Amino acid sequence: MSCFEELLDKNRSPVERFVRFRLSSREDAEDVLQEIFLTAYQRFEQLKSEASFQAWILSIARNKCNDYFRKKALDLEIPVEEITERELSYGRHGISEVAVVRETLNLLSEKDKRILYLYYWKELPQAEIAKTLQLPLGTVKSRLHTAKQNFKNKYPYHKAGSAEHITNGLQIQMGDLYPAHGMEVIMKRLPEFLPEYKLEPSEKAPFAVKWEELMGWFLVPKLGEKLSWGMYDIPSRKCSHIYDMQVTGKAMVHGIEGVELTAREAAYSDKEDVVERTFVAQLTDTHCRYLATLRNDGDIRNYITFLDGEAFLANWGFGEDNCGNETNLTPKGDIQRNGSAITSAKKDFLLDIVGRYTVTINGKSYDTVCVMDIETYNCGVVSEQFLDANGRTILWRRFNRNDWAMERYQKKWTEQLPENERLTINGETYVHWYDCITDYVL
């Protein structure tokens, strides 16, 4: 075997993950991979150090992917000079909010687009815009207000948000500044005990929902988002841990654009002993996924990314080729529920809407759909997630298979928590362990 073949054999998996992560078509991904391997072979003599092989071949992969997207842009008659690295980095299974903003801008009049371009992209003061357009300052202010409102009315997300939140999309497209990294988050006052709640099945059909939260963390990975949530043991209903989270800014991982998030974890009984976590996530129009996580190994800050195989995928990877969890949820029929009895299809990734429920908690009632997750991220673990029409979690409940972690706990869960609720899934018993709520319901 040649030196090139040995190096390629050792580094083939990261290259394949990188390309399949960015290209939605598996057939196109295979074609691009062949181009990458051929180009690497032809240019192998240019490699100065074998230790740099992975970085070198990934740079070739990045360029080949960009070439692929540029060709797609030409096919769609998008001027090549308008295609930037940001647009080329959107990745597998959907485009990011940048493209949604571009599409929204294209729905506006030329007058609206021009004044928004000068204000957000060129960052001109209104007085400078007045000189550029040879208009009175008052007219510029009026036109800018109208253009922002027109954008807000046509933008598909955040319809219920403030004008400032709506124009966040414009800031992404036009290059406005984002919140600074490292902003301090103060732990909020989540209740010490979980408020009483009631779950009532509805005879109405489940509704489709746009679910943009990060699986397992409840935060939407968009600029400006933040929340606090708590974990409550059952049956004591006492809060064991609280988490404060926020998006701190933009981030790029191997050419894929996302946002950086921080999570501050503390035991409810000791809020001074805080564990801080940092990770990067990406929200597209169809999926939400993790790109990287920061782990402190002693004095070393160890960054682990989606290219690092099981070191990353075992805890952070979801779906085929780590495409993430779907954001556009509709009942698929993969999971069937009749009361506490559940049956499911034989699939590796089981996440489905199983019914509609009224959840009454903290004196408020919410119309929700129940999303069940059967062992997608942890063998022996099932969750119920009740989402309202805004795609926000009202209540999250965890169930353990009866023999889950037997080596650690030395008892079945029916023995540990004999009074807790049980589910039967494909003939196996699962026992209710703990619940989570966020400050969204407080």
CA angle in degrees (0–180, nearest 5) for 182-97-244: 30
**221 or 113: which leads in pLDDT:** 221
Q: What is the DSSP string of 226-257?
A: EEEEEEEETTT-BEEEEEEEEEEEEEEETTEE
CA torsion sign for 424, 237, 225, 321 is: negative
Residue 360: per-residue pLDDT: 97
| DSSP 8-class letter at 238 | B
Is residue 307 within 8 A of residue 14, CB to CB? The reply is: yes
What tokens appear for 42 in the block?
């032809």
Task: Please check the confidence at residue 100 and state whether its pLDDT lies above 60.
Answer: no
Q: Which residues contact 172 (CB under 8 A, 6 or more apart)?
A: 97, 98, 101, 223
What integer best gives the mean pLDDT of the chain?
Answer: 82
Rounded to whole angstroms, the Cα distance separating 358 from 370 reads 10
pLDDT tens digits for 424-437?
Answer: 999 999 999 999 99
Is residue 222 within 8 A of residue 247, CB to CB? The reply is: yes
What tokens appear for 290 in the block?
């993790």
| DSSP 8-class letter at 120 | I
Rounded to a whole number, what is the distance in angstroms from the first to the last CA of the chain? 63
CATH architecture of 97-174: Orthogonal Bundle (1.10)
Q: Which residues contact 223 (CB under 8 A, 6 or more apart)?
A: 168, 171, 172, 178, 179, 247, 249, 250, 259
Rounded to whole angstroms, the Cα distance separating 375 from 378 reads 5
Task: Please check the confidence at residue 91 and state whether its pLDDT lies above 70.
Answer: no
**268 or 80: which leads in pLDDT:** 268
Question: Within the chain, which residue ranges are assigned CATH 1.10.10.10?
Answer: 97-174
What tokens appear for 388 in the block?
């309202």
Of 318, 239, 335, 244, which is closest to residue 281 (Cα–Cα)? 318
- Give the Cβ contact number of residue 293 at 10 Å: 21
Radius of gyration of the chain (CA): 25
Domain 3-83 has CATH 1.10.1740.10: yes
Is residue 398 within 8 A of residue 432, CB to CB? The reply is: yes
Residue 96: per-residue pLDDT: 46
Question: Within the chain, which residue ranges are assigned CATH 2.40.360?
Answer: 197-441
**Under DSSP, is residue 261 helix (H, G, I), strand (E, B) or coil?**
strand
Rounded to whole angstroms, the Cα distance separating 172 from 154 reads 16
Per-residue pLDDT, averaged over 220-239, amounts to 94
Residue 156: per-residue pLDDT: 58
Per-residue pLDDT, averaged over 35-57, amounts to 88
Q: For domain 197-441, give its CATH number from 3.90.1200, 2.60.40, 3.30.460, 2.40.360.
A: 2.40.360
Of 77, 109, 353, 404, which is closest to residue 207 (Cα–Cα)? 353
Per-residue pLDDT, averaged over 353-361, amounts to 96
Most confident of 70-74, 288-292, 303-307, 429-433: 429-433
Residue 84: per-residue pLDDT: 47
Question: Within the chain, which residue ranges are assigned CATH 1.10.1740.10?
Answer: 3-83
| Amino acid occupying residue 183 | M
> How many residues appear in the chain?
442
Task: Please check the confidence at residue 423 and state whether its pLDDT lies above 70.
Answer: yes
Is residue 268 within 8 A of residue 240, CB to CB? The reply is: yes
Query: What percentage of the chain's residues is helix, strand, coil (to nearest 5)?
Result: 35, 30, 35
Task: Please check the confidence at residue 189 and state whether its pLDDT lies above 80.
Answer: no
Q: What is the DSSP string of 386-431?
A: EE-TTS-EEEEEEEEETTTTHHHH-S-HHHHSTTS-EEEETTEEEE
Rounded to whole angstroms, the Cα distance separating 100 from 169 reads 8
Integer angstrom CA distances of residue 2 from 5, 35, 44, 399: 5, 19, 11, 52
Per-residue pLDDT, averaged over 317-333, amounts to 84
Lowest mean per-residue pLDDT among 110-124, 226-240, 266-280, 393-407:
110-124
**Structure pTM?**
0.67
| Amino acid occupying residue 163 | A
Task: Please check the confidence at residue 89 and state whether its pLDDT lies above 70.
Answer: no
Residue 120: per-residue pLDDT: 66
Rounded to whole angstroms, the Cα distance separating 442 from 435 reads 15
Q: Provide, rounded to the nearest whole percent, the portion of the chain with pLDDT above 70.
A: 82
215 Cα distance to chain centroid: 7
Task: Please check the confidence at residue 219 and state whether its pLDDT lies above 90.
Answer: yes
Lowest mean per-residue pLDDT among 29-43, 48-62, 378-392:
48-62
Q: How confident is the model at residue 186 (pLDDT cuts 50, 70, 90)?
A: very low
Rounded to whole angstroms, the Cα distance separating 89 from 256 reads 5
